[in-house]
């Protein structure tokens, strides 16, 4: 009886001893990695930067509003501590009109070898070709979302970088004359005149970047950012990393895994001509005929379509990419 208890205890003790030994494997713990601190994206500030652009009126090349918006953007990025280059060029539109155009490049750490490029177009469309009112289809649009939103988010990113210095080169490139393309035309090169020019004539010779992110129509309520075909073809890893990061931050309602067909947008020319892998974050609703927002290329593209929650989803994701990349972790 006592013998049995003795042996039973011995068995339990030895069992505990051996499991204890087993649970102490001789692995060297990984070195502690500091968590990356990502600053907060101020969505109200981004919203105001969109409102400021829209207040100039339609930002169509060869107009006073376009010139005023150019000065405002240039001046504001300088006030955020960026090195600003105004890249003037004359583009020829599909109509034959010569467009006085300017790509605006705002750089942080211009001497740094590791770089990323963040882009958007700052012009707005010269016609409202999809407006339901036929009488107003020849009038230019405000482009709060189509142009304004991407620029507004990038302005807020610039302001944030100035307050939270980074160990990374960042070039914010605002393309001009993206939206002067021929409605339903065959020739894709009538679109994206600024990005075509910049890709052939980068602001510094021999320019390169590890990757690029284009923002186009990133501000409307309930936006759906799908995995677009050109981005998937040229920069699949960048796209997957950005989408996963955003989903892990809780923005999976915006950044969905659905695939959509290829688009003619600035990233196409940056990928093909400049050879920089660039993705496009662009709203692709599932339920409209055009595949873009209901307000797309209409006079409804004003401040009423802009939603601060969407701006935050995009801006906070971009800040996470930038500060992780700065820490060597993207
Ligand atoms: C075309 O419809 C050819 N491209 C879509 C790119 C675009 C236009 N983004 C804003 N406006
Ligand atoms: Zn457009």
Judge whether 192 lies within some domain. yes
Judge whether 36 lies within some domain. no
Model confidence over 140-172: pLDDT tens digits? 999 999 999 999 999 999 999 999 999 999 999
pTM above threshold 0.85: yes
Give the residue, by CA position, lying nearest to ligand 1 atom 11: 179
Task: Characterise 123 by phi-psi region: left (phi > 0), alpha (psi -120 to 50), beta (else).
Answer: beta
Residue 168's alpha-carbon distances to 113, 127, 165, in angstroms, are 8, 39, 9
Judge whether 30 lies within some domain. no
Q: Cβ(277) to ligand 1 under 6 A? A: no
Judge whether 92 lies within some domain. yes
Give the residue, by CA position, lying nearest to ligand 1 atom 6: 265
The pLDDT of residue 4: 57
The whole-chain average pLDDT of the chain stands at 94
The pLDDT of residue 9: 56
Judge whether 32 lies within some domain. no
Query: How far is the C-alpha of 184 from the C-alpha of 181, rounded, in Å?
Result: 9
Pick from 253, 199, 202: nearest CA to 226: 253
Give the DSSP letter of residue 31: P
Query: How far is the C-alpha of 214 from the C-alpha of 278, rounded, in Å?
Result: 7
Number of structural domains the chain divides into: 1
pLDDT category of residue 8 using cuts at 50, 70 and 90:
very low
Domain residue limits at 102? 42-326
Judge whether 259 lies within some domain. yes
Residue 162 burial by Cβ neighbours in a 10 Å radius (0-12, 13-18, 19+) = middle
Judge whether 189 lies within some domain. yes
Judge whether 166 lies within some domain. yes
Q: Cβ(265) to ligand 1 under 6 A? A: yes
- CATH assignment at residue 269: 3.40.630.10
Q: Cβ(230) to ligand 1 under 6 A? A: no
Q: Cβ(123) to ligand 1 under 6 A? A: no
pLDDT category of residue 231 using cuts at 50, 70 and 90:
very high
Model confidence over 55-100: pLDDT tens digits? 999 999 999 999 999 999 999 999 999 999 999 999 999 999 999 9
The pLDDT of residue 28: 81
Give the residue, by CA position, lying nearest to ligand 1 atom 10: 146
The pLDDT of residue 185: 96
Give the residue, by CA position, lying nearest to ligand 1 atom 7: 265
Query: How far is the C-alpha of 244 from the C-alpha of 189, rounded, in Å?
Result: 32
Q: Cβ(176) to ligand 1 under 6 A? A: no
167's CB contacts (< 8 A; 6+ apart) are 109, 112, 326, 327
Tell whether the model's pLDDT for residue 30 goes beyond 80: no
CA dihedral 154, 206, 273, 117 (to 10 degrees): -20
CA of 154 to the centre of ligand 2 (A): 18
251 token code pair = 């923005």
Counting residues of the chain whose pLDDT is more than 90, the rounded percentage is 89
Given ligand 1 and candidates 140, 191, 298, which is best to mutate, with the most ligand atoms within 8 Å of its CB? 191
């Amino acid at each position: 009886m006592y013998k049995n208890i003795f042996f039973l205890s011995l068995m339990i003790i030895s069992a505990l001893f051996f499991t204890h030994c087993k649970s102490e494997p001789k692995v060297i713990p990984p070195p502690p990695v500091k968590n990356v601190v990502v600053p907060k994206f101020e969505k109200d500030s981004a919203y105001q930067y969109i409102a400021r652009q829209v207040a100039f009126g339609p930002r169509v090349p060869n107009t006073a509003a376009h010139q005023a918006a150019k000065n405002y953007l240039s001046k504001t990025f300088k006030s955020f501590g960026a090195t600003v280059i105004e890249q003037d060029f004359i583009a020829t539109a599909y109509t034959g009109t010569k467009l006085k155009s300017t790509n605006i490049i705002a750089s942080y750490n211009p001497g740094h070898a590791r770089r990323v490029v963040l882009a958007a177009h700052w012009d707005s469309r010269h016609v409202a070709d999809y407006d339901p009112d036929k009488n107003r289809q020849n009038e230019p649009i405000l482009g709060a979302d189509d142009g304004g939103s991407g620029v507004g988010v990038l302005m807020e990113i610039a302001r944030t970088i100035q307050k939270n210095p980074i160990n990374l080169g960042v070039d914010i490139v605002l393309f001009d004359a993206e939206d002067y393309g021929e409605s339903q035309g065959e020739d894709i090169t009538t679109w994206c005149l600024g990005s075509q020019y910049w890709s052939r004539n980068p602001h510094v010779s021999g320019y390169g970047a590890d990757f690029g992110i284009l923002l186009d129509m990133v501000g409307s309520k309930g936006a759906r950012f799908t995995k677009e075909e050109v981005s998937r073809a040229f920069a699949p890893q960048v796209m997957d990393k950005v989408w996963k990061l955003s989903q892990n931050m809780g923005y999976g309602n915006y950044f969905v895994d659905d695939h959509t067909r290829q688009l003619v947008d600035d990233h196409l020319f940056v990928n093909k001509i400049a050879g920089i892998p660039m993705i496009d974050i662009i709203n692709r609703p599932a339920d409209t005929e055009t595949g873009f927002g209901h307000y797309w290329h209409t006079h409804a593209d004003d401040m009423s379509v802009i939603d601060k929650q969407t701006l935050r989803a995009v801006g906070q994701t971009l800040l996470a990419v930038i500060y992780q990349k700065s820490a060597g972790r993207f």
